[in-house]
Amino acid sequence: MTQAAEETIGFVSKKNQDWFDENDETISLLIEAKPTKEVFCPTRSLVGGLQDVDGATTSEGILSRWKSHFENLLNDQAITPNDLIHMTPQYPVRHWMSLPPSIQDFVKAIKCMKPGKAPGPDNIPLELLTHGGPELRNRLILLILKIWEIKDSPQ
């Protein structure tokens, strides 16, 4: 079959040559013009080392500067108003959030999840939950309601 295709159509010559093959001479000239150590080795920063407040670069001076910096951070006297809690807006309590989840909530949560993701710590893939059928869904919602009731998850 390959021979028949070759005789009928023939081989197509490569129209686009590899970029590196086309620019081999240019690349070689660039490498020769600049020493490879300058091209491939890390460069040193032109910025000077750390200094303390007085401009000294000794390690003791730098350590004392860090010490004073963190002391200033930790011992800063923040001024906050005493009635800050009273100034914070209070929202009404949402009692519906304390209700146990319904089967509709469970189905909605499953539909919102993206397929093809790695399973969580329970090692149950999403595809099993979505295609497991009503029996699996009912058993899972019963397990969720039991956990909700006893307020403790199984180990």
Average pLDDT by stretches of 10, the chain with 155 residues: 72 61 78 63 55 69 82 77 80 89 90 86 87 91 92 79
Which residue carries 């200033």 as its tokens?
A: 72
Hey, what amino acid is at 125?
P
The model's pTM is 0.40
Look at residue 43 in the predicted model and tell me its pLDDT.
58
Taking the C-alpha atoms of residue 37 and residue 50, their distance in angstroms, rounded to an integer, is 27
Q: Do residues 75 and 110 lie in contact, with contact meaning Cβ atoms separated by under 8 Å? A: no
Using a 10 angstrom Cβ sphere, with 0-12 exposed, 13-18 middle and 19 or more buried, the burial of residue 140 is middle
Enumerate residues 6+ apart whose C-beta is below 8 A from 76. none
Q: How far apart are CA 138 and CA 20, in angstroms?
A: 61
The domain limits of the chain are 2-40, 100-150
